[in-house]
Each structure stands twice: as C-alpha cells, then as structure tokens.
Structure 1
C-alpha cells in the first residue's frame, strides 16, 4: 500500500466526517495525517514492515500511528468502515467539486437522496438542484460543468503518485539477472504532470522469466494480457502498467518509440521515410537491413538529428531546433541554488524554522526563503505584522550564527480581492522577498482576477506570483486569469512567476513556463514546502521548467545570492 493510497483513505475519512458535521478539530487531524503521509520521503508500508515507530514522525501521534499500521496490515482504516455503514461512502466524491461543501452535500443527500456523482448529475440535469434553498440555477449549471471536467481527468494519475508506484516496481524487476536494461517510457519519461498508464521497457534475452516476475508482483490485482514479449496488468491502485521486452540491440529504438509523444514519433518517421529509411520499435531499417537501434542517439543520428531530451518530444518545435542546432541546454536540479517558498510551524508547516534550515543545508543550498502565510489565511494561523516582525528577528539571529547558508526573510502574502497585499507596506519593506498568492475568491471573472493581480504587481514590494493559476491537479481547476497579460506586466515591472513544485500543483504548467521564457520573465522553481520532507519535491518543478524549454538562465533561484538580491530589489 503506497503512501498515496494511505493518504486517500484518510482524506475519505475526513470528508465523510465533515459531511456528517463532526468536530472540526477531528476532521483537521485526519487531513493533517493525509498531508503528512503524502509528503513522507519513505514508504510507510516499509516502516510498518520493519517495526519502526510511526509516532516518531512529526505530527503523527500514537492513535494515528496505530490506525496507519492497521490500514497497511489489513487494508482497513478504523472508523472509516463504520462511517461507510452509516452513510454512502461515495459522498466523499462530491467533496471534489468546488461548488459543494459539506453542508450542501448533506442537503443534497437528505433532500434529493444524492449519494454519488452519477446521482448528482441526474438530479442536476433534471433541474431539481436549483429548487433547493441556497443553490439556484447558476450553481446547478456550474455543478454540471465540474462533473464533466472530473470525468475527463479521473483516469489520469499525478506524476508524484506514479513515482511512488514505479520506483519499487522497477527495483523489483531489476533484481532479475536476465534483465540488462530497464526504463520507464511514455508520458512518465516526458515528465507530464499526469500519466494515463505506465510503460516499462526491458531489454532481456529471457522474456518468459521477465513476464513471470512482472505478472506475479504483489501489487498486481489483474493480469489483462500476457504474451511472449508484452503484458498489461492493473495494480491494486487501479493504475495500468504495460511491459514490453525487447532484445538489447533494439532497446534504443523501442525506448524512442514508447517515449513518444505520438506527434513527435510521426514526425521522426516521416523524416526517415524521406531518407529511404523505416523506423519502428525494433530499429532503423534500410530495406530489410537493420542499421541502428541499440541506443536512442543512434536512432536520431539516422535522421541527422542530435539526441532530443524526452521532455521536449511533443512536436512543438524541438525537431526544427535540433536540426538548426538550437536545442536548449535544459536546467538541471543541480543548478538550483536555493528554495524560495516554504513554511514553518509558525503557521501551517510541520517543522520549526531551525529544522527547515537544517534540511536545506543538507541539500547543499546557498540560500532559502522562509515564507509563512500572512494574516488573511486564518486557517493556516497566518502571521500579522507583530508576529512577522518577531520571525524577522529570529531569522536575523539565526543568520548571525550560520556560515554556509543565508536565510531570506519573506512572507507568502495574500493578494486581496481589491489587489492590495495583506500586510502593510511598512512591514513588507523589512523583508528580503515576497511570494504573493491568491487563496480566496477563485470564482471571480477572468477580467476581475487579472486586474486583481495586476494591481498587486504595481506594488514595488511584489516579487513572485505564487502558484499563478491556483489549480490543484485532478481536484480543482485553475481560476480564470489572463496569464499572457500577467506575464507581459511582469516583464514590465521586473516581477517573477513561480513554478510551484508541490505534487498537487505543478503550477505553472510547462507550456506557461515556455511563455515566461519567451517573454524574458524569470521563473522561480520552489517547493512550497510545509515540512522538511517536501523540500525533495524540487525535481518536479524542475521538470516543469524543462518542459518549458527553460535553461539555467531563465530561473531566479539558479542565481548567486548577490545576483538574487539585486533582482529582488525592484
């Protein structure tokens, strides 16, 4: 049972409790548990198997530790099954809709008998929701829109969740001596933010042994197909995994073929055809003679191209750039000098200032920024001017003691509906950096939302626009905003936009990162860490930058401390 599955169970328990009207503190405790599990750098299943004390994890007490252990060992979460007997378990699905909170869901269940998304769609299409007090025709219409969007994205898995699955699976397969090479291909290798399924490619002379080991993995719930060189299985998490076995001499051709994208592959095959060649998953052929295929580089060389990074293989200019010698020198995680967005236990983080700094030191960062929430976010215990000034003093004192890392004084300050920032300019002037974000009124029109941000950017204390579209992958759509206008204004004002690396956000998406690069606006890849474990999410944000063709020079936090400070001083 992977961490993502454990977290989902706790989220479901919290959803049902909230719909039931349970104590808010109890609900919050389970939501916090889900967040801790999601962010854990170690599989909790392994910790349980090795007899480790889960209560030693910060934020997990003895009661939660016991529940996690029982869930891992039995598949049952104490308390959840009892709730599911008292109320329809599918009600938790309704919590995924922005238009519905626990009270509205309870009203729909009690007055219209709605217990699932399917039933909700039926009563909405019948025009019954608008007749309920507190709903109306507009809410009914928006509910139908959201249901439609949910069905479009339900079958896709977030990249970070796929990583949790594929890492142990590849390690399990790689223990087989008969395997000489193994790679994960498909959209996973292109680092798309979600994957429909997983494609694993193996080089082996003994495909039968590989097939047997793959289909007998403990996580396999169903073997959909199994042949001599290919198999498809569904894991207990419902994720589909396809395995292909090829000879070592064909591995490069197969890796290129199964990495995709389809449009990229079609374009490469067309180029090959123009040169009298044929490319497929087994190699490059001139007539019946196989002339290349052991490595991807060989495949590209046959069409007179250099190797193209997987993140760029979308047939969106990468082939022309490769032909003309214009491929970017994509940013690497090792280029990142610091993390500019993180939270401590002063607001809604789980670790202290000192613990976050020590974790960043272990990563070798030159600097970090502490950016706790501002006062508007009361649920996160946001800082007012007095508490922020105390944190400023604490950071100054800490910097006097540190020699190998600089802690920047910052805040994640809310952008209010009128475009003002949530704290007075006098206290913002005392900071090194501000990450300015929207956390409320997501329903504003595109014009209103855009003007809101533009007014905020007029404030010279504005440095970085945090998670610029507000989306939560597979959960909440982006709010309406004209990002082209925002990026143009950022270029004029010397502001930056964040590439938020939180697995549920990955905001900005790759194509927007490309717009930043083209406009000459610096991006800031940051983790928005709420615990020390979250600092390891940096690679996910770097992947978004790479999908946007970004080089080291296109990012703010690849700069030296001195360079960074110069840019921040708008």
Structure 2
C-alpha cells in the first residue's frame, strides 16, 4: 500500500524528534520538520506525484536526499534511517515531547539521568519523587506533566481532521469506482468537520449484488477486519484508525446519513421532536405507524419533523434545533466567500516559497490580497526578520505590487509578543505595515493571570490588529495555554482587535467553541492559513470548516471583505 502524505509527515516528524533528543545539527532537524510540513500541506499525494513522473525535489525545501526518502516511504511504508535511529534512541521518547513542558533538552535529561524511556517510566519517576531531583522540574512543571499524562490515559485515541480525510480518501475512491455503487459518503465527526476524529463512518448505496463489503475489507489500507456481514463491515487501518461501512437502501439513504452523521445528542433531540408528533424516526426512515413517510434524503427527514435542513457542522445539540425551528439559523460562511489570506510566510523566515510564488498562488485562488507575515526577530529558530530585513521586504512588496492588477500583497509580520507583553518590533516599523499580526510563541506555561495580562498588554498597543492562533494549542500535541480567554475576547472586542481562526491543520485555533464565544463577545474574526508554502494556502477550507462550526456567517469574517473595506474594518 502506498503511504499517504500523513504517513510520510509522521515518519519525518518522528525522525526529527529523535534527532533533536540526540542533539543532532539543528539545521538537519529543521530540514526534516520542514519536509514534514511541506508533505502534509501538499494538495496532492506523493504517490500520485511519483506515478505521474513528477520530480519530488521540485517541492519547496525538498532536495534530492529527502525526495529519495519520500520515495522509499511511498514504496515500503518505512524510513530505514528512523528504524536505525530507534535502535539508539527509544521511539517512545519522541512521544514524550508532546507533553507540556517537555522539550528535547528535558527529554534527553530524563533519558540520560533517570533512564526514562517511555510514559510509564515517567509516571513512576513522578510517583517516586525522582523527577523532582532533576534541574528544571519543579512542583508546577511536575504537576502539569502528571495531569497531561492522566488526561491522555483516559481520552480515546483521536486523529487530526486532515489525517482522517487522507485515510478515508482511497477507500472512498475505491468504493466510488465499483460497478453498481450509486453513492458513497462519509458520515460521523468527519462529516461534521470536528477538529479531531475518533473513527470514520462511510455510507454506501448500491444496486443489489454489488460486492461492496468484500472490496472494502480487502483494500490495501486495511490492516485487520474487525467484523463483516452482508450490509456492514468494520476494519482497522494500518494507521490505527477504525472505519465502519454501512450499505443502505436508497429509500433509507437520508435517514441513515442523518443518523450516522450525529452527533448523538443532536439525533436524540430530533427523535424527541418526532415522538412528540406521533412519529418514529431511526436510521431506516421516518414512520407514521408502520408506513415510512420520509428517509430518502436528509431534507425529507428534517421536513417530516417540521425543521429546515441543518448543516452537518452545526449538529452538536448546541441550540441549532431551536434556531432552526425559529428560523434563526445563520447562512454559514463558505470557502468561496473568502477574498484573501492574512497570515502567510516566505523563505525570508521559515517558509519555503518566494514572495512571487506566494503571490502567484494567491492570485490563482482568485484572492484580492495576501498578507506576508514572516516572523519577527525574536523567533530565531524561524530566522525572524529585524527592522532592516522587514524594510527590504516591504520594498520588494512595493515592486511586485506595481505589476499586479486587482491583487495586492500586504506588508505585515507575525510579531512576537514578548514575555512582558511588549512587542518584538518598534512602533515605527509597525506603523509601516498594512496589517499588524501578533502572536505568542514561547513562555506558554505562565499562570493564567500572568498569561492573560501579557496578552492584554499586547492588545493595548493601538497598532495591533489581529491576534494569531490565540490559544496557542496544537491539535493532539499541545493544549491551549492557561489564560482567561473571556477577558481576552472582551478586551479584543473593546479595542477592535480581530481574533484569528488559524486554518493550519496542526492548529485550528481558535477552535469552534472559542470562535463562537469570541463572536458572542463582539469580536471581529479572520480565517487565515499560516501557510509556509504556496500549497499551504489551500488549507483555508479547514479554517472555514471551524468557522462554520462556530456558527459564523460571511459577515462575521473580515477577510470576506474586498481590500479597501477590509483595511477600514481593521483600523483601531
């Protein structure tokens, strides 16, 4: 089975983690991390590129050596260099780096000084008090690590939305190409576009006799078959995900799609409405007595209980049913509403493409504008720009803009919020920018009161217009920092600072719950990609998904505005 982009990125990331713990050259570590990001952000699979005869070293940041390694992974599903490194550095040490407060230096210290090789060893060291003997592991750090281990022990395994998408894609393509198959659709949390997905649900309608479950259980992506019957099957994929397939008759397609899309509280609430009307509703249809009166489409199902169609992203029983009944459902923002992107990087800092390439990609998407937000000087690992560098970039932006019609590159930067809340660049440089984006990247373990005060002080600067990835969380890797987000939202609304929904698949920050709370507090919002390559601009759809889950209309998202109206709306 050809490895997916997610598989390749995961192997490169794991290799980079172990190299960093080992103390390898930082540039070598960074090369693998960048390669992981380029592959994960690619709009096409590496296997498809190889099958088309395309040179992988044409990808930004991918040289001949990395291209060869990608080819090896696609063909074999493994990275031999990683397997060799794991004989010297325990694989599980890389997983420890995902715990808060544990970077490569601390993990290396745990391994060398206490012999800790995995999470179980770390738990024993915490219980025995041995961890407290190491420099840098005080009571607060130890407690935070212990709490994170406990959370992960009880939480079910969940996967990033983009990883679930990539895992489902070959199965959907295979089923859709089968003779006799009429419809193939995902359901469950993947259809609701949740930021993390537990398993994948697939619904199929087909003509009688089509060998759907047979083909499904024998797909190359399947590692083991958990259950199989005439109309349903469950399998586990090589990446550990479970996929459940159900074959349903066309007359029940809409009812089954509604039922298996969920969420469970939403389905139960709709069922309650049906019961109150003297109806019975299940995955086979809507019934009055023994007669099925609806079920072929979801619109039929909703109409039978007196409701308009409710978009899948809203089906969490968070008031959508009451809003639908009262005619108050918003017209949700769509990808086509977006007029530009306000967070993107180039080779000047830690991106992989030039200003020209990023502009060309944005123009190809039909955008009116793209903000170039390379890192400021404090983020040294990302080659942050100082005042002289930025002014040189601004001059290059002016030169490029002179040749554009109907499109504009915006001068900006992702300006670091320092530990005391001051900004990493002087006001004189900020005043030369079209858009000022600020973000926190370090000192993320501050107590909630101090962290909140730090962010509020940054927002007090009247030049600040957008707070990027406001909670600093990384999906399945790092929880949001401790801060009073309601206070931050209130201050941002008062000061006119927009909150970002960061569409980068590792972030999706703000998440849907926070984004809805920000809107309720009166905040402006933007959806941006944080793209580090031209291909990364395509991640906008993931941010729009979260905006839709947050009940946002196009009017709630500033970068659905044309350029001049956007710039006016961003003014403090």
TM class by shorter-chain length? over 0.9
Distance in 2, matches of 1:383 and 1:105, equals: 30
Aligned residues: 570
- 1:347 equivalent to 2:349? Answer yes
CA RMSD of aligned residues (A): 1.4
Distance in 2, matches of 1:355 and 1:457, equals: 32
Offset, 1:134: 3.6
Residue in structure 2 matched with residue 76 of structure 1 by the alignment: 78
- Cα pair 1:154 1:474 within 8 Å, conserved: no
Residue in structure 1 matched with residue 367 of structure 2 by the alignment: 365
Choose the corresponding residue for 1:422, options 421, 424, 432.
424
CA deviation profile, 1:306-362 (whole Å, cap 9, x unmatched): 010011111111111111111100000000000011011111110000110000000
| SS of corresponding position for 2:483 | coil
| SS of corresponding position for 1:447 | helix
Question: Which range moves more in the overlay, 185-194 or 23-32?
Answer: 23-32
* Mapping 1:41-52, distance limit 5 Å: 41-52=43-54
Residue in structure 1 matched with residue 447 of structure 2 by the alignment: 445
What runs of 5+ residues in structure 2 fail to find an aligned partner?
none
| SS of corresponding position for 1:354 | helix
Offset, 1:108: 2.1
* Mapping 1:265-276, distance limit 5 Å: 265-276=267-278
Q: TM-score, normalised by structure 2?
A: 0.97
Distance in 1, matches of 2:146 and 2:212, equals: 46
Residue in structure 2 matched with residue 557 of structure 1 by the alignment: 559
Distance in 1, matches of 2:216 and 2:272, equals: 35
- 1:467 equivalent to 2:469? Answer yes
| SS of corresponding position for 2:202 | strand
Offset, 1:154: 6.2
Residue in structure 2 matched with residue 381 of structure 1 by the alignment: 383
Q: TM-score, normalised by structure 1?
A: 0.98
- 1:286 equivalent to 2:288? Answer yes
| SS of corresponding position for 2:567 | helix
Offset, 1:198: 0.3
- Cα pair 1:208 1:228 within 8 Å, conserved: no
- Cα pair 2:60 2:533 within 8 Å, conserved: no
- Cα pair 2:372 2:411 within 8 Å, conserved: yes
- 1:30 equivalent to 2:32? Answer yes
- Cα pair 2:213 2:233 within 8 Å, conserved: yes
Residue in structure 2 matched with residue 500 of structure 1 by the alignment: 502
Residue in structure 2 matched with residue 407 of structure 1 by the alignment: 409
| SS of corresponding position for 2:211 | helix
CA deviation profile, 1:400-448 (whole Å, cap 9, x unmatched): 1111201111111111122111111111111110111001110111111
Offset, 1:153: 4.9
- Cα pair 1:432 1:568 within 8 Å, conserved: no
What runs of 5+ residues in structure 1 fail to find an aligned partner?
none
Residue in structure 2 matched with residue 64 of structure 1 by the alignment: 66
Offset, 1:208: 5.6
Question: Which range moves more in the overlay, 304-313 or 387-396?
Answer: 387-396
Question: Which range moves more in the overlay, 152-161 or 171-180?
Answer: 152-161
* TM-aligned CA distance change 1:103 to 1:452, over 3 Å: closer
Offset, 1:139: 2.9
| SS of corresponding position for 2:201 | strand
| SS of corresponding position for 1:486 | helix
| SS of corresponding position for 2:463 | coil
Distance in 1, matches of 2:556 and 2:226, equals: 45
Distance in 1, matches of 2:385 and 2:16, equals: 27
Distance in 2, matches of 1:407 and 1:306, equals: 41
- Cα pair 1:207 1:228 within 8 Å, conserved: no
| SS of corresponding position for 1:79 | helix
* TM-aligned CA distance change 1:250 to 1:109, over 3 Å: same
Distance in 2, matches of 1:461 and 1:327, equals: 35
Residue in structure 2 matched with residue 20 of structure 1 by the alignment: 22
Choose the corresponding residue for 1:258, options 254, 257, 260.
260
